Structure formats: structure tokens, C-alpha cells
Structure 1
Amino acid sequence: MYPVLQDSAKELDEAAKIDGANSLQVFTRILLPAVKPVMLAVLVMALVFNWNDFFNPLIYLNSNDKFTIAIGLQFFKGSQGNVQVGQMMSMALISLLPVLVIFATCQKYFIQGIKMSGLKG
């Protein structure tokens, strides 16, 4: 952890203890709201990584009806190298929509995390 952030977190902890908060209250009312934007950012990044993962499902799944969208997009490529571009682009857009919706709903938390990182020391 960076020394400046560590010192400010320690100061917040000590200030809450002086005000009479116990350890659970310090965690739920001070530390958890400060970490919530970062946890949400990690959650969204992990979701996008797993949503677009290609090789792990290709290794583990055996039947065609259980394949993920990333693997399903490869079925639009023919064996001769011909590509069904229209169908592939529409399926890629459909697979992108859930990620865009999640990002749009969580965007305020990303901005909140940027605002909270500007603590005065």
C-alpha cells in the first residue's frame, strides 16, 4: 500500500476510534464505503474477462450446446476461410450489450472512486 494512502486510512481509523466506534462500525461505516468503488471496478473487470474468455471453456466443455458466446462466434467462420460477416457482427454486438449495460449502471461508482481518492493529507 502507498504510504500516503496508508497514513490517511490509519488516520480515519484512529479518528473513528476516538469518536467511540468499535471495529465493526469502523469497517462498515468508514472502510467499506471507501473500498466499494475499487471492489466494484475489480468485479466489472473480472466479469468482462470471464465473459470474453475463449480458451478455458474450449478446454472444459465438450458439447456444442454448452459453449459460450465467445466460442459460438467462431462457428461463423467456415472451414474454407469464408466468414459470415453480417451474422458475426450482429452476434458480437449482442454479446457486448450485457457488458455495456453493466458498465453504464456502475459508472457512477467509478467516478465516486476517483473523487474519493483525492483525499487531502
Structure 2
Amino acid sequence: MNLIGHSEDVIRFMFGPKTGLTPAVVAFACADFAARTGVRGEVSIARLAVEQGSVGNAFKMNEADLADSLKAFCSDATIMSVSRINGEPHLVFKGDIKEAAKTVLEASYVKSSKRVLMGAI
């Protein structure tokens, strides 16, 4: 996932987009984080990026990288979307957040994931 980089004798965590991290995995992690922290309906991408225990901290991704990954996922999904609320990007859930996380995870392991996501929730 390109989380750790090597530079001579130094090992460091790599920030930024991850080549092995699919938009679906990012979307699942964001929905799971939202469900576990009591989010109702929507969550700011800034919170997903910087809050302790958040997806951004776990995957070493900033707000812009998270937003790009979520927009890529949401372009084909009906269970969540990225919208601007008060000028800031938010991940908006259409239905139960726990079910959204479950659907994203299950769809990641199904051959026709697009069909599953489009018909979900």
C-alpha cells in the first residue's frame, strides 16, 4: 500500500496517495470510522483526515487525497456521495452508515461490484 518508505538507513511513513489502496477500501474505512464514532448522515473529510484514529491518520493521507479517493469511489456508488456543506467537502451517507460500510466491503469481494453497489441501499 506504500505506507512505509525507505531512504538509506531510515524508514519513514509515506504521506499521500497510495497506489495499492483502492477507492473502495478508503470508502469502507471512512464508513467504518463514521459508524464507530457515532456519525449521523455526514462527516467532514477534514475530520476523516485528521481526527485521532481516523482514516487519514491510519493510511497517512491528507484531506485532498482522501477527497480524491472518495470522489472516485462515489462516482459509481449510490450509497454515499461527496458534497460541499458550508463550503467544506463532506462524505454524505444515503441510509444506514453501518450498512454502507458492509455493502462496500462485500462489493469489494464480488466480481460484479458495480452492480452490487448500484443496487444497494
TM-score relative to the length of structure 1: 0.24
| Higher strand proportion (structure 1 or 2) | 2
| Higher helix proportion (structure 1 or 2) | 1
Which structure has more relative contact order (CA 8 Å, sep 6+)? It is: 1
TM-score relative to the length of structure 2: 0.24
Larger Rg, first or second structure (1 or 2) = 1
